[in-house]
Amino acid sequence: MQRLTWSKLMTAANVVLLYAPSLPIRSSLAIAFAARHGALYFTKWYPAQCRIKYGAPAGALPQSR
| pLDDT for res 58 | 63
Q: Is the pLDDT of residue 4 over 50?
A: yes
3-class SS string, 7-50: HHHHHHHHHHHHHCCCCCHHHHHHHHHHHHHHHHHHHHHHHHHH
In this prediction, residue 11 has a pLDDT band, given cuts at 50, 70 and 90, of: confident
What residues does each domain of the chain span?
Answer: 6-54
How many whole angstroms separate alpha carbon 12 and alpha carbon 35? 11
pLDDT digits (tens, 9 = 90+) for 12-34: 877 887 888 787 878 777 877 88
For residues 23 and 41, what is the distance between their CA atoms, to the nearest angstrom? Answer: 28
- Residues of the chain with pLDDT > 90, as a percent, come to 0
